[in-house]
Structure 1
């Protein structure tokens, strides 16, 4: 019995260090003048990027991802973990916000002045660090941790858990993402899941409808990944950890225990133990001075939500 206990301990410790060594860290939470003070609770900025890193040309064609270089933010969420309930808040990628002044990443050394753009332009121009600063300054909310995953990591994660069971309300056929699903309960593989969380063209509210699908899918994925049949089976557990951590980027201070806390909080929120919301919107079809269509936040309602997250008070019910 003692030998068995020791063997289990050695396996657990070895697994921890093996998994911890797979984490990819980036210094995305750098300080800057005027950065919001630390609030109460913990705020994660979770980013799904359209990075094609790890995909072959055949993968790109099969997954309908295109072959664009670099990476842009395909989805953004803030997960607030606190004593007064956890909240998962989606941020429309077309949100019209001020992007702070920043260094040109092309190597010219030039400073790009602050300007108003869609929020996903911050990620494209300066990666996670500029996106974090943009979120913080527009919400007056400090981000404590950061997690980012690209297309390849997402597909691998879904396939590692054996697919994710979803109930599709109506048939979906989208040529851009390659999605072709019938209505009803079914198990989505990695390719189908990626198309599901990306497609938006058959929805009346486009990106806003897509964010609802993303929240719904994350809940189903968290439930599947945390099930005993996944965690207690080494043939699913190790591929799951490997697929998830190989392509995840986190901030310098985030460790496995932090990721575990984030994962459990997300599972609870999407399972009904918390709130899933979108940044309160004042105008979903704001016409910018440059002729683009963007999303403007509702100033009063959004401030109430951001303040509640900062102070770890109950997040108000908003629409």
Structure 2
């Protein structure tokens, strides 16, 4: 393995890698899946006191946040580590084929984001999965490999070491969360101005409006290669899907049907795992912060990158952060100051 790249520790200007376009375009479909599912849980849980209490009993927890020597001191505001896992666990070969997700055993995390809220913000910062950072006990590695090396706790510690931020809470959404939530809603209605066919995602839809089940919605959200707009077109569809699912969650077909409401709540909670210190109140706070970002408040951005596609022995092609810009960004979050990219939407 090559010489580890030190974490980002200098002040400087934030700028995206050359040729990548605005930072929000670089979000993967799983990033939007993660945000979508967290919002869905909030919408359902906030429906009433009874659901609030029940959600508190049924929230799934994991060991993710712990003290250790040299851990960053607490800053101002609250920091969540949001993780999207593309695990295929529990899928039959037929289901893998139907969802076009492949047959490999996936242990890494495909989406890693830090959510910060306090007096300023809220802010959502994406940490690219190929970011080359020190993983405690394992040397320099891609940041998403920390989960495979030591689960949520090592991933949280790795992010704290790389960013200098203390992580207060952790939330993880699994790969099939969106599929199951959409199916619990008996599908969502989506409209296409032109046909969409993408062999890699499995999308094959004519122009017009139709009701899509969970597998179709996933294909709709993942399609990119056959879209003339590429990632930009994909992001537009992902936002439409999030809106369609949110509308269905708060519609009378759900709230006036106790059986369906229970099914939707159970499915939403099953898709979410949080740290042991997070209860329903903390999850609601996190969800409302995400909802504010979706509504145009604060900012969503990506850690500034210095050099993408660098080859490192034992790690392959990695992505190096802009040390100056990254330090400036994370110091602003630690102090709960407006971030340098707060004007970027």
TM-score by length of 2: 0.73
Query: Any conservation in 1 of the 2:185–2:254 contact (CA below 8 Å)?
Result: no
> Could you say which residue in structure 2 is the equivalent of 1:279?
303
Query: What's the offset of the Cα at 1:22?
Result: 2.0
Query: Any conservation in 2 of the 1:165–1:187 contact (CA below 8 Å)?
Result: yes
SS in 1 for 2:110: strand
Query: Any conservation in 2 of the 1:216–1:270 contact (CA below 8 Å)?
Result: no
CA distance in 1, matches of 2:309, 2:132: 10
SS in 1 for 2:176: helix
Query: What's the offset of the Cα at 1:242?
Result: 0.8
Query: Any conservation in 2 of the 1:177–1:195 contact (CA below 8 Å)?
Result: yes
Aligned residues: 296
> Could you say which residue in structure 1 is the equivalent of 2:118?
82
CA distance in 2, matches of 1:203, 1:214: 11
SS in 1 for 2:149: helix
1:25 to 50, 61, 66: 61
Q: For 1:50-199, what aligned pairs fall within 5 Å after superposition?
A: 50-69=86-105, 71-101=107-137, 114-161=138-185, 163=187, 173-180=197-204, 189-198=213-222
Post-superposition CA distance 1:125-169 (Å, at most 9, x none): 211111111111000011111111112323112333455567879
> Could you say which residue in structure 2 is the equivalent of 1:39?
75
2:247 to 208, 218, 224: 224
TM-score by length of 1: 0.78
Moved more, 19-28 or 186-195: 186-195
Runs of 5+ consecutive residues of structure 2 not aligned to the other structure: 1-46
Query: What's the offset of the Cα at 1:52?
Result: 2.2
Query: What's the offset of the Cα at 1:292?
Result: 2.2
Query: What's the offset of the Cα at 1:175?
Result: 2.6
Considering Cα pairs closer than 8 Å and 6+ residues apart, tell me whether 1 or 2 has the greater RCO. 2
Moved more, 213-222 or 26-35: 213-222
Query: What's the offset of the Cα at 1:232?
Result: 3.5
SS in 1 for 2:58: coil
Query: What's the offset of the Cα at 1:222?
Result: 7.4
Judged with a 3 Å threshold, the aligned counterparts in structure 2 of structure 1 residues 242 and 304 are, in CA distance, closer, same or farther, namely: same
Post-superposition CA distance 1:239-297 (Å, at most 9, x none): 22111112321100111121122122112202212211111111222222347222211
CA distance in 1, matches of 2:175, 2:279: 22
CA distance in 2, matches of 1:203, 1:182: 14
Query: What's the offset of the Cα at 1:196?
Result: 4.8
Query: What's the offset of the Cα at 1:96?
Result: 1.3
CA distance in 1, matches of 2:207, 2:128: 26
CA distance in 2, matches of 1:215, 1:314: 27
Moved more, 69-78 or 43-52: 69-78
1:260 to 273, 284, 287: 284
Say whether residues 1:241 and 2:251 are aligned partners: no
Post-superposition CA distance 1:108-135 (Å, at most 9, x none): xxxxxx3111111111221111111111
Query: Any conservation in 2 of the 1:196–1:213 contact (CA below 8 Å)?
Result: no
Query: What's the offset of the Cα at 1:224?
Result: 3.3
> Could you say which residue in structure 1 is the equivalent of 2:341?
317
CA distance in 2, matches of 1:185, 1:36: 50
Runs of 5+ consecutive residues of structure 1 not aligned to the other structure: 1-10, 102-113
> Could you say which residue in structure 2 is the equivalent of 1:110?
none
SS in 2 for 1:74: strand
State the superposition RMSD in angstroms.
3.4
